[in-house]
Amino acid sequence: MLRVGIIGLGGIANSHCRGISQLDHVKVVAVADLMEERRREFMAQYDIPKGYATHTELLADPEIDAVGVVLGHMLHHRLTVDACRAGKHVLVEKPMAISMEQCDEMVAVAREKGVKLMVGLTNHFSPTNRRAREILDSGELGPVITAVNYMSKRWGYPRRRAQYRSRYHGGGMWLTNGVHVVDRLTWFMASQALSVSAAIGNRSYYQAADDYGSAMIRYKNGQVGLAVAVAYKDGGPNHDLNIICSEGSLHIGRGGLVEAGVWVGKGDKWERVAVEDESSNFAREWEAFHTAIERNIEPPSSGVYGRHIMEILFAAEESALTNQEVRLSSGPGWFSQESGEVATYEHGWY
C-alpha cells in the first residue's frame, strides 16, 4: 500500500483524490492546507484520517510514503525539495517549476535522496492519447513527418487567482496550459527538442502574464512541430493534435470541429478508431507512480523528462523576447539516462 499525503487543497486536489480513490493499493492518508475548513472538507469527503496546517507537519509524519504537491506554481520547487529531503517520493503538478535552476535542484535532490520524482503531465495517461500512441508505435502509418498541437480555451479571468495572472509567480497561459501542449507534442514526436522559435504575448486580458503562445519546435530526429496555446475571451475550444505521417494521418480531437476521439486518415478519408479504456487520467497517473516506486524503475514523465519540457517552454519565452530562434541549453547532442534504473515499455521516454 502506497500511503500518500496531498499538499495543497485547491481545485486540482479533488481530481487527485478522486483518482486515488479508484485504486486498491494507493490511499490518501493525510492532507495539508492552511485553511482548516478545506482540510475538514477533504477529510470528510474522501475519508482521510489526518489533516495538517503546514507541509512541514505532514512531511514529519512517518506513515506517509509519498506526497502530491498540487498547489501554486511558485511553490512547486520549495515543497518538492523539502519532501525529497524528508525521504518522500514526490508527484508534483505541472508546470514542474518556474525556472531552470529550480528544476535542476529538484532533480538533483531527488537523486541524492534516492526518491522518485514524477511530474503530473496527464496527457501520458489519457486513453485517447495512449490509443494514438499504440497506432504510431505499430508502424501502420509510417514515420511521423510533422505535427501541430492546439489548446485554445476560455481563460476564466474573473475567477483565476492573482498568482496565475502573473509571470513572476509562474502564471500565464504558456506555463499554465502551454505545458500540456508542448508535452503532448514532444511525447508524440518521440524525440528530444533542439531549438525553439516562438511568439508569446498578451492580447486578450489585462494581466502581468501572457495569454497566448505559438512555438515552432525543432527536434533532434529532424522533425518540426508546432505548439499553439491561446486563452481567448470568446471563441470555440480546440484541443486537437494533428499528425502527418508518411503513410497516413492521425487526429486526436477534443472540443474541435469533429467528434472527439482518435481518427486515422487513409485513402483521402477519416475513420474513427475505438477507444475502449475510459479510466481516469489521474488514477492511471498514480497507478504508474506506484508501479515506479514498487519496482524501483524510472517513472513516466520523470523529473528529467519534466525538466526538458520546461526547458522548451523557457526557451520559447526567450525566443519571443529576443525575436530569435533559441537553441536549448541541453545542446545539439543527445542526453542520456543517468539514474541506472530499469525502464519499461510504459515509460515516458521513447
Is 211 within the bounds of a domain?
yes
148 and 166 in one domain? yes
DSSP-derived 3-state class of residue 95: coil
Q: Is position 309 within any domain? A: no
What pTM value is reported for the model? 0.96
Alpha-carbon span 339 to 97, nearest angstrom: 21
Q: Which residues contact 57 (CB under 8 A, 6 or more apart)?
A: 32
**What is the pLDDT, as a whole number, of residue 339?**
81
Rounded distance between C-alpha atoms, residue 136 and residue 198, angstroms: 27
Kindly report the CATH number assigned to the domain that includes residue 97: 3.40.50.720
Q: For position 146, what pLDDT does the model report?
A: 98
Residue 329 lies in a domain: no
**Is residue 316 domain-resident?**
no
Looking at the structure, tell me whether residues 148 and 238 fall in a common domain: yes
Is residue 179 situated within a structural domain?
Answer: yes
pLDDT at 256: 66
Tell me: do 24 and 158 sit in the same domain.
Answer: no
Quick one: 66 and 156 in the same domain?
no
Instruction: Please name the residue that has the C-alpha cell 506526497.
Output: 67
Tell me the Ramachandran region of residue 270: left when phi exceeds 0, alpha when psi lies from -120 to 50, beta otherwise.
beta
**Which pLDDT does position 190 carry in this prediction?**
94
Amino acid at 301: S
Q: Tens of pLDDT along 206-239?
A: 999 999 999 999 999 999 999 999 999 999 999 9
Note the pLDDT of residue 172.
97
Burial code of 49-68, b = ≥16 C-beta within 10 A, e = fewer? Answer: ebbbeebeebbebeebbbbb
Evaluate whether residue 72 is within a structural domain.
Answer: yes
Task: Give the tens place of pLDDT for each residue, 19-50.
Answer: 999 999 999 999 999 999 999 999 999 999 99
Amino acid at 219: Y
73 in Cβ contact with 170 (< 8 Å): yes
Measured distance CA(195)–CA(319) in Å, rounded: 10
Same domain, 6 and 130: no
Q: For the domain that residue 258 is a member of, what is the CATH number? A: 3.30.360.10
Identify the burial level of 118 via C-beta atoms within 10 angstroms of its C-beta, where 0-12 means exposed, 13-18 middle and 19 or more buried. buried
Give pLDDT, residue 138. Answer: 95
Q: Are both 109 and 158 inside the same structural domain? A: no
Q: How far apart are alpha carbons 237 and 256 in whole angstroms?
A: 6
Range of the domain at 105: 2-122+281-301
Residue whose C-alpha is closest to residue 207's, from 162, 153, 159, 156: 162
Q: In the chain, which residues have pLDDT < 70?
A: 255-258, 350
Q: Are residues 135 and 267 in the same domain?
A: yes
Any domain includes 181: yes
Same domain, 227 and 259: yes
pLDDT at 260 (0 to 100): 81
Same domain, 196 and 62: no
Measured CA to CA, the distance from residue 206 to residue 185 in angstroms comes to 29
Tell me the CA distances in angstroms from 10 to 7, 69, 274, 306, one per residue in order: 9, 11, 34, 22
Whether residues 129 and 262 fall in one domain: yes
- Cα 188 to chain centroid distance, Å, stands at 14
Same domain, yes or no, for 156 and 32? no
Domain limit, last residue, from 273, 292, 317: 273
The C-alpha atoms of residue 13 and residue 91 are separated, in whole angstroms, by: 12
Residues 34 and 64 in one domain: yes
Number of folded domains that form the chain: 2
Does residue 128 lie within any of the structural domains? yes
Peptide bond into 237 cis (omega under 30): no
